C-alpha cells in the first residue's frame, strides 16, 4: 500500500481506528507490564534483604 501524504498514512485506508487502537492498546499493555515487573522486582529484592537480615541475626544469636 502506498500513501501520497501523511494524512493518508494515518488514515490507514479507512482502518485507522482499528490499527491505531491496536497500537495504543499494545503500548498500554507493555507499559503496565513494565510497571508491574518493576514492582515485583523491588518486592523480591526487599524480601531477599529481609531474609538475609533475619539469617544474619539468627547466626549472631546462636553464636553468643
Q: What is the pLDDT of residue 62?
A: 60
Q: What is the pLDDT along the chain (64 residues), one digit of tens a residue?
A: 677 899 988 888 889 999 999 999 999 999 999 999 999 999 999 999 999 999 888 876 665 5
pLDDT for the residue 51: 92
| Contact present, 27 and 20 (Cβ < 8 Å) | no
Residue 55, Cβ neighbours under 10 Å: how many?
A: 10
How far apart CA 57 and CA 64 sit, in angstroms, is 11
Sign of torsion, CA 13 16 22 27?
positive
**Residue 14 contacts residue 1 (beta carbons within 8 Å):** no
- Give residue 50's pLDDT: 93
Amino acid at each position: 500500500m502506498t500513501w501520497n501524504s501523511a494524512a493518508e498514512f494515518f488514515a490507514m485506508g479507512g482502518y485507522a481506528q482499528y490499527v491505531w487502537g491496536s497500537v495504543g492498546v499494545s503500548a498500554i499493555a507493555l507499559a503496565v507490564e513494565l510497571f508491574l515487573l518493576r514492582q515485583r522486582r523491588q518486592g523480591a529484592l526487599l524480601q531477599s534483604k529481609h531474609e538475609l537480615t533475619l539469617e544474619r541475626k539468627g547466626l549472631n544469636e546462636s553464636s553468643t
